[in-house]
Amino acid sequence: MSMADESRDREEVDRVVPGDKWAFDDEVTRVFENMLRRSIPQYDVMRDAVTNVGRHFVRDGAAVVDIGCSRGDALAPFVELATSLRPCVGVDVSGPMVAEARARFAPAIAAGRVAIGELDLRSAYPAWSASLTLAVLTLQFTPIEYRARILADAYAHTVPGGAIILVEKVLGGTAQADGILVEEYYRLKEGNGYSADDIARKRLSLEGVLVPVTAKWNEELLRAAGFGGVECFWRWMNFAAWVAVRG
């Protein structure tokens, strides 16, 4: 991407920042990748780590399932490995995101190697047996009262020896620690071109929509669902990624 293209994308992202409640609508879908790249620290490192850890759990006879697939960025590296014996499945509650993912993977969908569907995890779960489940920045957008059940459903649909990868924004373990993490996070966003007003407007739009919990709480949720071997394999300030295995 040229510097001119990147600058134009940044301007478009900044115009999209909502003023009321956040929604994964057509406008957000169009600029979503650029928005993530400017808002998540070590974005490429995180994506590569998810792919590299996840590859160890891909196997014939079970699917790679991405719950909250958005445009398919986490799923894309695994589509290259997809076959009729190990398909890739993505679900998302956002119609525009689903449409974008379907267009992106159209040839693989036509070949029967990929399936993309619209689904609300609060009331349903994809009916596939998975050797790997991806939940990348998904649970944080789901009301807390549904998260334990969603992870329990993931466990029930995971084959023995399979795993889930969970990536979440997290709270600090204390108010002081959380304040430091948030301050450094906002410093990073300012360095990526967001103004103080942009940051404040986005924070307000996400209130009650993006609800993080502590790293410890996420680990407890994974263990309570039945997963073992819970391991944090990436963390930067208030973002973290875990792999957890079904024995």
CATH number of this structure's domain 3-245 = 3.40.50.150
Q: Where are the alpha helices (DSSP H) in the chain?
A: 3-16, 26-30, 32-39, 43-54, 76-79, 95-104, 106-110, 144-156, 175-191, 196-206, 215-225
Give the chain's mean pLDDT.
88
For 11, other C-beta atoms within 10 Å of its C-beta total 12
> What pLDDT, on the 0 to 100 scale, is given for residue 24?
65
* Cβ-Cβ contacts under 8 Å for 227 (sequence gap 6 or more): 151, 155, 158, 163, 164, 244, 245, 246
Mean pLDDT across 27-47? 82
Per-residue pLDDT tens digits for 204-213: 555 556 889 9
Dist. CA 186–CA 126, nearest whole Å = 36
pLDDT at 126 over 50: yes
Taking the domains of the chain in order of start, what are their residue ranges?
Answer: 3-245
> What pLDDT, on the 0 to 100 scale, is given for residue 166?
98
Q: What is the DSSP string of 86-108?
A: S-EEEEES-HHHHHHHHHHTHHH
Dist. CA 110–CA 44, nearest whole Å = 29
Distance of CA 45 to the CA centre of its chain: 14
pLDDT at 2 over 80: no
Per-residue pLDDT tens digits for 143-162: 999 999 999 999 999 999 99
> What pLDDT, on the 0 to 100 scale, is given for residue 125?
98
Contact 49, 204 (CB under 8 A): no
Dist. CA 234–CA 60, nearest whole Å = 27
Per-residue pLDDT tens digits for 62-102: 999 999 999 999 999 999 999 999 999 999 999 999 999 99
> Which tokens hold the place of 140?
């944080």
Q: How confident is the model at residue 192 (pLDDT cuts 50, 70, 90)?
A: confident
pLDDT at 3 over 50: no
Residue type, position 17, single letter? V
